[in-house]
Amino acid sequence: FLSLVAEFCCGFFVILILGNFWFLAVLYLLWLYLDWGTPCAGGRRSHWVRSWTVWKYFREYFPIHLIKTSELNPNHNYLLGFHPHGVLVAGAFGNFCTDPPFKNLFPGLTPYLHIMPIWFGCPFFREYIMSAGMVSASKESVSHVLSNKGGGHASVIVIGGAEESLNAHPGSLTLNILKRKGFIKMALKHGAHLVPVFSFGENELFKQVANPKGSWLRNVQEKLQKIMGFALPLFHARGVFQYSFGLIPYRQPIHTVVGSPIPVKQNLNPTTEEIDQLHALYLQKLKKLFEEHKGNYGIPAHKSLIFE
């Protein structure tokens, strides 16, 4: 969905350049130059955009639910690790980029969904995603959010990143997380409490072409991901009037469960050992969260998370 909107925005910009409105394109480029750093400085959210009626229907389509398991004190800043990436990241968008799900359950906290910086280079589209509460996933951006004095900010990071979308097959429970420790270091440097978040149903929205590790397709996808910075999963779902093929996601319920916070004491210069210890604790809490709730959302008792 976001890709389609981005393509439309880029196409509109090209029309401005080639048409009789080239001066508007020049003015926008000037604005882009002056405003370039905003995605790394908290963005520019709009309650009006986040409250559009279309988002209510978007959440109800699947439907998307946000489940609270513990209080999050708004006097602290938090780093929420979102799992899994899936293809669409629908749970992250529906719960953290639209109102009122998050603010009703966690009053006093403002969520910021961190996404790849490349999206903020797209004319006009960048204005839309910032208005929804999305900001850059750069270190500078995460630091800005977590440095808020007095607390009340929540950085939401999809830990597995684009690479994990290649594992987004129905029933898959594989998470790319063992080598991803940058978010742990950021949490330590800012004393932000860590919160594991697992979105049940995220991988059930699309069917992806088989791409087991070592296959020619997976090798090509991984090479392209390293070059372009984002992955290209080959997926399909349903159409508008039929259920056999199309790009509209299946109507599968998504339950995004927000776990209990892991208290983190600020450490401006954490050692490798300290980062590894907190990372191991985070994995333990994430696995516990999954095990405690998997039975409620149709996951067989014998299935568990796989960390890669």
Q: Are 255 and 177 within one domain?
A: yes
Amino acid identity at 238: R
Do 15 and 144 have their domain in common?
A: no
Confidence at 240, pLDDT banded by 50, 70, 90: confident
Confidence at 262, pLDDT banded by 50, 70, 90? very high
Mean pLDDT, the chain, whole residue set: 92
Cα(308)–Cα(160) distance, integer angstroms:
10
Top pLDDT among 307 and 244 is at 307
Compute the average pLDDT of residues 56-83: 97
Same domain flag for 87 and 9: no
Over residues 177-187, the pLDDT tens digits come to: 999 999 999 99
Indicate the number of domains in the chain. Answer: 2
Task: Tell whether the model's pLDDT for residue 269 goes beyond 80.
Answer: yes
Whole-number Å distance between alpha carbons of 132 and 194: 23
Expressed as residue numbers, the domain containing 167 is 39-307
Going through the chain in order, the beta strands assigned E by DSSP cover 64-68, 78-83, 110-115, 134-136, 153-158, 174-175, 193-200, 207-208, 235-236, 254-258, 306-307
Q: pLDDT tier at 294 (50, 70, 90 boundaries)?
A: very high
| pLDDT band at residue 4 using 50, 70 and 90 as cut-offs | low
Above pLDDT 70, what percent of the chain?
A: 94
Over pLDDT 90: what percentage of the chain? Answer: 77
State the pLDDT at residue 209. Answer: 92
Q: How far apart are CA 106 and CA 127, in angstroms?
A: 26
**Per-residue pLDDT, 123:** 83
Whole-number Å distance between alpha carbons of 153 and 120? 21
Give the range with max mean pLDDT: 10-14, 160-164, 293-297.
293-297
**Predicted local confidence at residue 251, as pLDDT:** 94
User: Do residue 15 and residue 160 come from a single domain?
Assistant: no
Looking at the structure, do residues 78 and 181 belong to the same domain, yes or no? yes
Supply the pLDDT for residue 15.
Answer: 65
Say if residue 31 is in the same domain as residue 154.
Answer: no
Task: Enter the pTM of the model.
Answer: 0.92
Does one domain contain both 94 and 11? no
CA 86 to chain centre: 10
Q: What is the CATH number of the domain that holds 50?
A: 3.40.1130
Residues 145 and 292 reside in one and the same domain: yes
Q: Tell me the per-residue pLDDT of 87-142, one tens digit each, with 9 for 90 and over.
A: 989 999 999 999 999 999 999 999 999 999 988 988 888 999 999 999 999 999 99
Whether residue 164 sits in one domain with residue 31: no
Identify whether residues 45 and 138 lie together within a single domain: yes
* Domain co-membership, 80 together with 16: no
* Pair 13, 93 in one domain: no
